[in-house]
Structure 1
Amino acid sequence: MTTRVVQDPSDGFRFLPHLQTQPPDLRVSFDVLGGGRIRARMSGASVPALQGTEHKADLSVRPDEVHGAAARLCARWKERFVDFQPVDDRGRTLLDRRRPYATVADLSAEPEDELRRAVADLVRSGESLLFDTLLRGEDARTEMFRSYLRSALSQEGLRVRFDSDLHLPWPMLCTTDDSPATSATLDGLFSCFLGHRHQIEHTGEAYAWIGPSRTPPQPPTVSLNHDVRVGRATRADEVAKALTEGTRCVVRTTYEELVRDFADPDLNEQLTYFWCHGEFIGNVPEPHVLVVRLTDGTAFDGHTVRELRARHRHSCFRPLVLLNACHAGVSGASADRSFLGRMLIEHGAQGVLGPHIAMPQAFAAEYALEFVTRYLRREATAGRIAHELARHFAARYRNPLGFAYGLHGGMDARLNQTSGSEA
């Protein structure tokens, strides 16, 4: 008999992609309320359930102060680590060691005492931002919240979601157990970073993308969006080659190519990789926003994404975006570091992975090569790969810069190989 469907209110259950992943082990929310108040909430299997109530506290700190402290932390990483310059007993620059932490990715040959002192400073700043600035307060509710959160974050291997109106460099924040071993060894210091302990993602959008599920193309489509002049002395060429293995790779080097393809309603990429410079631009009193520039130097930002993708709300554009764009310049609270990522996610991206600081090109290329290779091999989710790489570079290369990469959404994103019959 011939069947005709006259009503399908569920639309074939296709518009429920947000129900397809398991909940995180720990979810911490920081909501900015009227008057600049911040309300903190916490839930998940890693914290005890409370009878008749919930983990909640109204904090005494204000958003501007938190953003300022976060900008200071990022600047401190650049000053104390990336730009670290050894000198001799007379204070003269050692010509054979010019910015040793920025010129190579592997720091295993560097003096460990120097590394330990630099990393100890970053740990102290990262813990202070989390517990002495964001969660400071002597009232009973704040003290309880702080205690429960510290206990949860002191565990290992959790899937943590910071669902927050405050965009902070969460993997760079720290928690310590005050043991002598932690302060005495470099490995002990590395273990203090939240990015070493857990898989972490930042979210904040409500129903960021709800649309029909699509069968991914085979082979998967990826793109390389780059400034050809960046990173010539690094492993950038190997990253470009890795992107072509078993994929259909689209290469873009100009703003016009980006605009042409982002305006296409049928744009369907599984991995979108940016390798270029970035900077913050804007006018007072509006916040400065991150823009990226390819070879032609024309600025591409979140506003451009909105202009091109707003009319394609339910398209098949669902990539993971690796935004390997170094940025410098504005470092204060007036810089909206998350706007480009928010716009990409709002208009389809599963998540955006990128550095919170101005990343040295040598390390950025090494990181991208490892991530792209593992992701295209379908080894794990983006969150697990980012977590493994942070620990990998710390253990093997003695380099903490892997903790400076953060996921904006996308912790559970992965490259699935789905045939038409399976779909």
Structure 2
Amino acid sequence: MTRYDLGPTNAIDNVNQFRRPLPVCESRGRTLKIRIKEVARGRYEVVAFGLDLPMGGRFPFAYLDADPEMVKGWIDDLHQTWSTQVIEWQDPATEGPEANYRRPFTDAVDLSDVAGTAVERMWHAVAAAGYQLFWQLFHNGGPALQALGEEVRTALWRREQVVTFTSNDLVAPWSMLYVPRDGWHAPELGNVDPEAFLGFRHLVEHRFEREYDLDADIRFTGKRINASAYYDERLDGPGRGDTPTAVAAPVVATLARLSSTHKATTRQTVGDHLTGDGAAAHLVYFCCHCVPSLNGEAYLRLPGDEDEGLISAGDLGFWIGKAGGLRSSPLVLLNACQSGRLITASASQLGAVLLQRGAGCLLAPCVNIPARFAAAFAEDLFARILPAGRPLGPAVRSAVRAFAGEKRNPLGLTYSLYQGIDSHFCQMENPDGLAAAGR
């Protein structure tokens, strides 16, 4: 044996109580970071760093001159397009007594059988709206913002990027933005490239500015994670036009098969669980309606003691706060209409308060998500991340591509991911006391 035959090996890890080494958890360096901060009324500072962004001898920042109401209006325009052209769109050729109940793009998950011209018009509408918002945020300004926007656009087509948007002041549905390949021009009808959507081509997340580091490892012991399923049983039954739906039950059954699942179906039982054992769950799944209020806040709706049990951001913050916060940095999936539509880091918003109270990551739709698609997306996602522990970001992107591909359904793009590209379920030790050998 020569000295060249001796290679380094890691057979034992003395710092882990002389047990086998812990698995090396997968993580991804961010290749594109964009930070947006309101520096004065009507002005945002936009800073971008990335492996493919040329510095050019200057600090990579620019100013977006727009007040919060203007930005909110731009984002509302995008959501309105998705609402009218996808969620509520009716085929004008539909006839019969149930014509007013038929929504071709929401009544089915697989749109490959819908008339090709209708699907092309729908894809064109959402692509044009996504391009408009991208232009408004990254090209609608002075020379510095235009130069920065062009560098960002070019980088997004140089390779697949791992993108983090960081802001407490401006939250946009980044995955729904459409970035043209060949310059600043709107997409043409019949020539929409799905890869131009940020959420289709890239790994994308939004983060709020925080004073501590985030931990992507959702650690658990034993063979299964602990999950909480909070859902409205009334979702399973007659839907629009008396068409039967199966929304909550199939997904909860899938979750129960892949995890140790606690179920709660009323406002009271959700509150009781979150103030106790529920605060230690590794996965929290809400499946219910989300109801907007006149003051701009939103409420989750579950059956209550009387008629309806509305759950506010304040309720969630109080319940979780009493339990000392969400202790396992869980994945939270809010499968409720517009629950992912955050505007700022305000604790008056459902998603924001969950993140502030310890959620490791949050995934939620920005639009009125159709019931059938919500169920199909959740089942697909759970199958990808449980029990293997695959990182959430790639799993979400794979789900988006699966639905947008053969099924021609773009609704996966409407799920916004908050601080969750690397989040995954990390098995720390097996029941025999030995560290897990890997994932």
**TM-score, normalization by structure 1:** 0.84
Gapped regions of structure 2 (runs ≥ 5): 1-24, 238-244
Secondary structure at 2:406 match in 1? helix
Matched letter for residue 163 of structure 1: T
Structure 1 unaligned spans of 5+: 1-18
Q: Which runs of 4+ in 1 moved over 6 A?
A: 91-94, 209-214, 331-338
1:153-164 paired onto structure 2 within 5 Å: 153-164=156-167
Alignment partner of 1:106 is 2:110: yes
Q: Residue 422 of structure 2 aligns to which amino acid in structure 1?
A: D
Deviation at 1:97, TM superposition (A): 8.8
**Partner Cα distance (1:412, 1:250) in 2:** 25
Measure, in 1, the Cα distance between the counterparts of 2:210 and 2:424.
21
- Give 1:335 deviation, angstroms: 12
Alignment of 1:164-243 (within 5 A): 164=167, 165-178=169-182, 183=188, 185=190, 188-207=192-211, 215-218=219-222, 219-232=224-237, 233-243=245-255
1:115 aligns with 2:119: yes
Query: Following superposition of structure 1 onto structure 2, how do residues 262-273 of structure 1 map, counting pairs within 5 Å?
Result: 262-264=274-276, 267-273=279-285
Letter in 2 for 1:264: G
Distance (whole Å) between structure 2 residues aligned to residue 321 and residue 398 of structure 1? 27
RMSD of aligned C-alpha atoms? 3.2
Partner of 2:3: none
Aligned residues: 395
Among candidates 305, 319, 325, match of residue 308 of structure 1: 319
Amino acid at match of 1:48: P
Instruction: Label 1:290 to 1:95 Cα distance change in 2 as closer, same or farther (>3 A).
Output: closer
Asked whether the 8 Å contact 1:203–1:408 carries over to 2, the reply is yes
Distance 1:260 1:201 in 2: 31
The answer to whether residue 299 in structure 2 is matched with residue 291 in structure 1 is: yes
Deviations 1:63-104 (A, max 9, x none): 211111111211210101111111239x99994992111111
Q: Which residue among 32, 44, 53 is the counterpart of 1:47?
A: 53
1:134 equivalent in structure 2: 137
Q: Which amino acid aligns with 1:294?
A: L
Distance in 2 between residues matched to 1:55 and 1:303, nearest whole Å = 38
Q: CA–CA distance in 2 between the matches of 1:369 and 1:405?
A: 14
SS at structure 2 position matched to 1:245: helix
The counterpart of 2:333, out of the listed 314, 322, 341, is: 322
What residue in structure 2 maps to residue 422 of structure 1?
435
Overall identity of the aligned pairs, in %: 25
Does 2:35 correspond to 1:35?
no
Amino acid at match of 1:173: L
- Offset from partner CA, 1:91-147 (integer Å, 9 cap, x none): 99994992111111000001111111121111111111111x223445221121111
- AA matched with 2:328: F
Match of 1:151 in 2: 154
Q: CA deviation at 1:194?
A: 0.9
C-alpha deviation, 1:375, in angstroms: 1.4
How far is the alpha carbon of 1:245 from its aligned partner? 1.6
Aligned partner of 2:260 in structure 1 is: 248
- Give the CA deviation at 1:173: 0.8
What whole-Å deviation, never above 9, does each CA across 1:203-251 have from its counterpart, x for those lacking one? Answer: 1131367799885132210111000011431353221111112421000
* 1:289 aligned partner, one-letter code: E
TM-score (norm 2): 0.81
Aligned position for 2:408: 398
Partner Cα separation in structure 1 for residue 414 and residue 421 of structure 2: 16
Measure, in 2, the Cα distance between the counterparts of 1:406 and 1:393. 16
Secondary structure, aligned partner of 1:326:
coil
Letter of the aligned partner of 1:262 in structure 2? L
